[in-house]
Every structure is written in C-alpha cells, then in structure tokens.
Chains A and B, each alone.
Chain A
Amino acid sequence: MTVEFLYWAGCPSHPEARELLEGVLQARGVDVAIDVREVRTQEDARELAFPGSPTIRVDGRDVDPVGAEEPPSLSCRIYRLPNGRVSPVPTREQIEEALQ
C-alpha cells in the first residue's frame, strides 16, 4: 500500500489533515510510511495533478474522488461533509474508506 500526502504550505489545514491521517492509520494498524510532498509552485501542482491542499491518495486513489477532478491549483481544497457543510480537511470516514 502507498499513502501520499500532498500539501501546500500556504494553506493552514495541512497539519490537521496529516494528524488525522496518521491517527487513522495508527487506529487501523496500518504500518506504512506516508509519502509527504510539499507542492510549491503552480507547475508542481500541474505535474502532480494537485487539486488543492491537502490531497491524500491511497494507492494512487484520492480519498475524495469527486474533489480530485478540480483543476490543479495552489489553494486550499474544499471537502464536502455529509451534513452539507464544507471543510478544509477530509473526513475520517473518507480516509477510512480509501484504506479499505
């Protein structure tokens, strides 16, 4: 299994998202090194198909496949919650589902 964590430092959500990801991995007993990449430029964003920060992929699959379709951008990413609200980080359930 591969787990990628891509972030842009200009968005403040990445520490919270990474902590969430690490917590989910630990809770599920998944022993894997997270491939952490900082996306610094718009060119990086294009090359990595980075739709915003943070982006988490498990075996290359985005934890939010719908949001992954957004154009590459150095910006904060929008995650939609089941209650209709938006969040700058994915839900625990989205990460857990991607790990299954």
Chain B
Amino acid sequence: MSLTMATEAPHFELPGVDGRDHSLDDYAEFPVLAVVWSCNHCPYVQGWEGRMKAIQQEYGDHGFRLVAISSNDAESHPADSFDEMKARAEAEGFNFDYLYDEDQSVARRYGPERTPEVFLFDEGRRLVYHGAIDDNRDEDAVTEHHLRDAIEALLDGRDPAVRETPPVGCTVKWKA
C-alpha cells in the first residue's frame, strides 16, 4: 500500500553509490524532495533516467533534490546489485543520489509498485505528488510534465494541480 497524500515521509537511512550513508534528514535543507523508486535493469527507468538528470539539473539550484532508491532483489535481478548500481551511476553520470534498500524495509514503508515511481514531498515533508515523472516513456511524445509541474508549483508556493498519476514501469522486485 503506497503512502497516502499528505502523509509524512517515512525515515530512511541507506547506503549510496557514493560510498556514504544518506538519511531523510540529510535533505532537510531542500524545501522540495523527490524520492524516486528506481533500479538498473528496467527499460522504463532507463528511458526516464535522462529526464531525472535534467530535472535535478534544472531545479537543483532552486531548493530541489531528487533521490533515487532501488529496492530490487538482486538475487533474481543481478543487474540491480549494489555493485551494478555503482557502475551504472558512474557510467551514466548521475547527478542525484542513488541509494540501495537491500532489505526492502524502506520500500515497505513507502509502498512503491513500479520503477520509476515518484514520491514528492514539500518542505514539511508531506506527500504532495505521487506517480509518474511525466505521461510518456517516449521523451518525444510527452505532453504532461507531472513532476516538473509539481516541483514548480511547490517552488512557487502553490499546491500541485495534479496530485496523483498512475506510475508506469517495471514492478518492484520483491524478495521471495
């Protein structure tokens, strides 16, 4: 069960591909925080990664931070192992933190079903948008920029007009 709207962001403290541990509190200085469930192996994630980087690049200097978390079972999907996450982050030049939720405890608290799947929090760390990054896996066919619109609304002191959209992507790979 995913977080319901206005729920406070559950705590996490997870290792990142940069070799450091990252907790929710570490992002307190950023008034807008997107926690995005992600992974390596999924073509939907790979298709959206460039847009994740672009959004971090565009709004990073305006109080926004994007954090990606992979909770996938690396036994069934070895491409999603922590070592492979580190390699992908390096190869793709991720400009956002990429964290590994090996025991899936953080995923159980947030309740993502897909990758990618966005949980966007306001300054009080209340959930204000949940769902897809935008409305099309094909970058050239996007007409609705859900995450961008929600970020801009928050940075502008408004509530996002769209609060929830269905995430599209691979399922989170839960441990057996």
Contact = CB atoms under 8 A, between A and B. Distances in A.
Q: Helix, strand, loop or mixed for chain B's interface?
A: loop
B76 A78 contact: no
Interface in A62-100: 73-79, 85-88
A88 B137 contact: yes
Interface in B12-62: 41-44, 46-47
Nearest to A10: B171
* Range class of the B interface residue count: 10 to 19
A75 B137 CA distance: 17
A11 B43 CA distance: 10
Interface of B: 41-44, 46-47, 76-77, 137-139, 168-171, 173
Nearest to A89: B43
Interface of A: 10-13, 42, 73-79, 85-88
A87 B138 CA distance: 8
A74 B170 CA distance: 11
A25 B43 CA distance: 25
